[in-house]
Amino acid sequence: MTITMCCSVYRITSAEGPEVGYLSSMVIACLIETFIAPWINQNFTLEIFELQNRIYELEWLSYPPKTRRLLLFLMQRIQKPFYFTMGSWRPLDVAVFLATIKFSYSFYTLITQSASKLARKPTYGETN
């Protein structure tokens, strides 16, 4: 996804006509697709933390013992951070989205600088 975005942005800088619209829509679609999963996951994690607070604020001492044990178990389970991960190694949150955008921009800068150096490089046999 990252390489697709940065290559599309690079191509937009030299494209003309309807190709600009197509490539721009492709970049926007990539951004939306990359943002949706981390955003949903982060909101889900925040809702889980809010659930813990709501359980704590209940008048749970007036509940039957079985329900109190269930609520206590639920509170203990929710204390452990609950989030989806990418490949079981990194939580999928908005920080991942921002890191992806930063990497895309770095890769775009690398491609742009490499292309400009290649454009200025004299061919074999030419002198400056």
Ranges in the chain, pLDDT < 70: 1, 121-128
Q: What's residue 122's pLDDT?
A: 64
Phi, psi of 15 (to 5 degrees): -85, 160
Q: What's residue 65's pLDDT?
A: 92
57 in Cβ contact with 115 (< 8 Å)? no
Tell me the pLDDT tens digit for each residue of 14-27.
878 888 888 888 88
